[in-house]
Amino acid sequence: MNESDLLEELTIKDLLDKYPYSKEFFNINGLPIDDVKISIRDYINSLGYVFLEDMGLNQEDLLKRFRSFMDRMKAIREEPAFNIRDITILGGRNKSEKPEEIDLKICIGEIICIVGPTGSGKSRLLADIEWMAQRDTPTRRQILINGSVPPRDWRFSVEHKLVAQLSQNMNFVMDVSVGEFITLHAQSRLIDNSEIKTQEIVFHANQLSGERFDMNTPLTSLSGGQSRALMVADTAFLSTSPIVLIDEIENAGINRKKALELLIGQNKIVLIATHDPLLALMGNKRIVVKNGGIKKVINTTSNEKKGLLRLTEIDNILMKYRESLRNGQLLEIGDELLC
Amino acid sequence: MKLITVSGPPSSGKTSVIIKSIGELKDRHLKIGVLKFDCLVTDDDNLYAAQNIDSRVGLSGSMCPDHFFVSNIDDCLNWAIGQSYDILISESAGLCNRCSPHIKGCTAVCVIDNLMGINTPKKIGPMLKMADIVVITKGDIVSQAEREIFALKIRQANPDGIILHVNGLTGQGAGELATLIETATEIETLVGKELRISMPSALCSYCLGETVIGLNKQMGNVRKMKLD
Ligand SMILES: Nc1nc2c(ncn2[C@@H]2O[C@H](COP(=O)(O)OP(=O)(O)O)[C@@H](O)[C@H]2O)c(=O)[nH]1
Ligand SMILES: Nc1ncnc2c1ncn2[C@@H]1O[C@H](COP(=O)(O)OP(=O)(O)O)[C@@H](O)[C@H]1O
Ligand SMILES: [Mg+2]
Ligand SMILES: [Mg+2]
Ligand SMILES: [Zn+2]
Ligand SMILES: [Zn+2]
């Protein structure tokens, strides 16, 4: 007897106790539960022909779907986390079809920035990494993971994404509160007890954004800055993706430095397309793109790193003024801005 | 000949996804025709023509669009064979959430977008739950977390299908969809093939043109609500 046979012999109560996510099987298929003491098999056999016909099913199909559901959820739960040490970008060709001479390895814990004028191909480079391009995108680039070609089915794995993305175009659209949203996200990772995570995420999101919000704030009423802050904190603590791609979030009004530290602290590779000097200098390298190709890779110099301290001060001052503005205070612009 | 049925709620990105995939398939030297099934009007034939894609439109008018589909699709296939296409793709809007134009033995694609809300996978019936491939669009404008939540809901509604993210604007992911389409099963005829789910039963007086309300006008296949 295999495991699915056993599962359908369980009573609904035992099934729900043992596999809390199985509740979703009933919910998503519109199956009302009246008596939890009968077995799944008996339950399915008790459903009437007309009821099932309305769904386009019969008892046998539904039992099959139940087994598939349980198998799939088990697989998602047990699938091991990615073990990624590094990724490699192998050059393709630029927009003028000239070869792109590049072989760049990026390791876990690195922050890499991508700079270049609008239209130069920053987003395209991020998309190539997201897609684990194998010379099958317009740029003909190839992406290696741990030095080899990643298995093709990684592209299709919706449950375990190698890459998490954050971009300025992204908005929250779900009609729920912040707390409900995080719980839903945790559930989608099949994490049952998400209370601590939820608190952690809301706490850190508030550290990133000047404007406070809490669990009960409706998700879609968050400001641009609050949304970005929540997306960063959520990615840091709930996403299993080892690679984070950030596309131009400089205007979001969040503490960018803290945001990056939060992500890097969770052992991720972070790639940022940006025009922002503060962000650009936080990376250890920056990729310069031009005309659709990688032109060169610059290592951040020690001089630049020193400059970063000064830039951070200026940024902190600006943030202080922003905060004063928000609170309806007068701006006391003193000497601190003078060099 | 391969027949691919593409369905999905209105504005989910069906036409965009089909156009991007055909772009990829044409690069692979395949000849493709498109059918568009709709109720009253459609502009999609113009969208296809603008991309030099051959298409034909079927408008069901006052008829149930799904019945219209099934009584025309075998003729359409013969037309496509006459045109010596390699692949025939049919696009139809999911007109009610229960129906699905999917046929056993022909690759069935359902296109659904990230903006539809997390309860949508529950509400959409066989069109989604019995599809071989579920394409999710508009991932570029919602948060990563919502994308993940939505994808899991779809996985729960359709545990066996392939789920694919395609961006209808940039075409990201369309190459993979094209590869799946390319490897679909060949068919020679639809005669004798079966729909994946029976059509909505509708043979009541109103199907036949009755417009007056009242018990004595309700004849044929009538189902009553429970109100108490
Ligand atoms: N942002 C975004 N818009 C999309 C995407 N796919 C389609 N659209 C837009 O959604 C609208 C409806 O798309 P269409 O293909 O006509 O949908 P159909 O009614 O299902 O055929 C159009 O304005 C498309 O440009 C996508 O992946 N991202
Ligand atoms: N090497 C390339 N070959 C062909 N097209 C490219 C190449 N690199 C970028 N593109 C295209 O150029 C356009 C602009 O690139 P994008 O990445 O959006 O620029 P950015 O994000 O820097 O503003 C996009 O349509 C992209 O697909
Ligand atoms: Mg860009
Ligand atoms: Mg359309
Ligand atoms: Zn219908
Ligand atoms: Zn009728």
Dump pLDDT digits (tens) for A277-328: 888 888 889 999 999 999 999 999 999 989 988 888 888 888 888 888 888 9
Do B148 and A175 make contact, defined as CB atoms within 8 angstroms?
no
Give residues with Cβ within 8 angstroms of B19, minimum separation 6: B47, B48, B51, B53
Q: For the domain B2-217, what is the CATH superfamily, name and number?
A: P-loop containing nucleotide triphosphate hydrolases (3.40.50.300)
Tokens representing A139 are 């740029």
CA B217 to each of CA A264, B70, B224: distance values in angstroms, whole numbers, following the listed order: 70, 28, 14
Q: Please report the sign of the dihedral spanned by the C-alpha atoms of residue A45, residue A71, residue A238, residue B162.
A: negative
- Nearest residue, CB atoms, A234 vs list B145, B159, B165: B145
Do B156 and A73 make contact, defined as CB atoms within 8 angstroms?
yes
Residues A24 and A67 in one domain: yes
Residues A221 and A295 in one domain: yes
Q: Ligand 2 pocket: which of A100, A102, A123 to mutate (most atoms <8 Å of CB)? A: A123
What pTM was computed for the model?
0.87
pLDDT at residue B169, as a whole number? 94
In a domain, A148, yes or no: no
Q: What is the ipTM of this complex?
A: 0.83
Query: How many other β-carbons are positioned within 10 Å of the β-carbon of residue B4?
Result: 23
Q: Domain tally for chain A?
A: 2
Residues A55 and A115 in one domain: no
Q: Where are the beta strands (DSSP E) in B40-158?
A: 54-59, 87-93, 108-113, 133-137
Dump pLDDT digits (tens) for B80-119: 999 999 999 999 886 666 667 889 999 999 999 999 988 8
Residues A37 and A114 in one domain: no
Q: Residue A115 maps to which CATH number?
A: 3.40.50.300
Dump pLDDT digits (tens) for A113-172: 999 999 999 989 998 998 899 998 889 999 999 999 998 878 877 777 888 988 888 899
- Nearest residue, CB atoms, B130 vs list A56, A72, A158: A56
A-chain CB neighbours of B153 within 8 Å are 28, 188
Dump pLDDT digits (tens) for B211-222: 788 888 888 777
Pick from A78, A101, A136: which residue ends a domain? Answer: A78
* Contact between B161 and B134 (Cβ < 8 Å): yes
Q: Testing the interface with B: which of A74, A165, A184, A228 to mutate, by most B Cβ within 10 A?
A: A184
In a domain, A139, yes or no: no
Backbone angles phi, psi at A282, to 5 degrees: -75, -20
